[in-house]
With several copies, the nearest count.
Chain A
């Protein structure tokens, strides 16, 4: 490596011009790796077979030339130069078994990998951009009919709400919300108590209504509850086999009578 001619590898005039242009254009490079990739092209070989040693020299020459031309190089170019100088020495000297760290070959292989990968990504980018583009080569629907997202709020109110509201107004403070009013509830047990002693007399069909307890026939709420409870009680007694029920027709009065024990 005695005084390597910087343009040793540059054979053709065009290549020489290109190499000179490299220096003038130093700002145009996207960092040392980009520069290395460009320099590697002068080797005119597959990146996988590139001589990293040669590339390192090319780079160092480049940096030297730039210095001579008083081009200010960014720090990372100089860091790369130092690293490549180190790599160069590793590659040239026989491996020292006592030395720690990766071998020169490993480092060179990694640099080659990095270059190849960057090159591959550039080619991939170019292929990507060469694809058909939406809005240039193929097109989406020109008049999309957008889905109208209607958020419909429906207000609901039941008749009960309405009536309660009205009742609330009409009675003002007087109004209290509906609660189960125990006063107006007749339980089935109570109805059974009323009914049991009476059925002994029910030899003939008698309307169930007549069995409603005293005081439960007038007020509609009480009457309704009493009717239901008495009916339930009558079903209970029918189950026990003590009475029979009948209803001549829909909505007709329900009638009961004592069931004769003779057939039971």
Chain B
């Protein structure tokens, strides 16, 4: 390698094609974008890094990597349309936990609904993780605060939720009557179940969802 240290540089700048190779190698190996000044400092005396860069840039036009200006430096970058190759995604599909699906169902049917209401309906407390998970899945989000003491936040379902479940709106969710008709519910209401649901209804703001369920309850009688 020693031969290279003093070689033709002392005499004349190498041909442009050679300068281009040099710039190519330096940019390739450098851990950071390299400025024209730095390139000129590394290239043999008399070389014109700026010109070599222009040649090189053209050479890489349309290739899988692009010579890109970053700040005042230059670097190779993956062509933007091939960015997808840089991700190796392994998708693992898991069933939502029972707690999560129940919470989601309650939000869907009772929105906007507070955490306290969800807990009341489920009869068990709702863990932070469950709500976070549903928010992360982009299936529920925060709605308006309830204008009641403590101004609790409410949860509502998102557009993603509707998309995922193929619904036009949350109103399209089948009501209890339909669930029953579909055989998803036993038709006999348990004694005392009505009391329970009435409580729930109290908790509900006079929204459409509440209406829907009033209808349902009426239909079973």
Contacts and interface: CB of A to CB of B under 8 A. Distances in A.
Interface in A101-157: 101-103, 106-107, 109-110, 113-114, 116-118, 120-125, 127-129, 131-157
Nearest to B197: A170
A33 B31 CA distance: 42
A198 interface: no
Give the secondary structure class of B's interface: mixed
B184 interface: yes
Nearest to B79: A138
A174 B30 contact: no
B217 to A, nearest CB: 10
Given A120-B182, A124-B174, A175-B185, A30 B99 contact: yes
Contacts of A221: 181, 183
B133 interface: yes
B123 interface: yes
A176 interface: yes
A191 B210 CA distance: 41
Given A139-B86, A167-B185, A172-B190, A159 B166 contact: yes
Contact of B189 (A139, A148, A171): A171
Interface string B108-132: 1100000000001111100000000
Contact of B88 (A128, A150, A178): A150
Given A125-B105, A128-B105, A169-B106, A139 B123 contact: no
A181 interface: yes
A135 B92 CA distance: 10
A76 B122 CA distance: 13
B123 A31 contact: yes
Contacts of B71: none
Contacts of A82: none
B188 A155 contact: no
B94 A124 contact: no
A165 B105 contact: yes
B123 A147 contact: no
Interface string B11-35: 0000000000000010011111000
A157 B167 CA distance: 14
Contacts, number: 268
Interface in B46-105: 75-80, 82-83, 86-96, 98-102, 104-105
Nearest to B87: A148
A168 B176 CA distance: 11
Contacts of B82: 138
B121 A124 contact: no
B186 interface: yes
B199 interface: no
Contacts of A150: 87-90
Contacts of B92: 151-154
B184 A164 contact: yes
B174 A110 contact: no
A138 B77 contact: yes
Interface in B171-221: 173-176, 179, 181-186, 188-193, 196-197
Nearest to B125: A31
Interface of B: 1, 25, 28-32, 42, 75-80, 82-83, 86-96, 98-102, 104-106, 108-109, 120-124, 133, 137, 163-167, 173-176, 179, 181-186, 188-193, 196-197
10 contacts: A33-B123, A125-B102, A127-B174, A128-B165, A129-B101, A139-B86, A142-B31, A155-B94, A156-B96, A178-B183
Given A154-B94, A157-B101, 4 more contacts: A121-B106, A145-B86, A162-B108, A167-B176
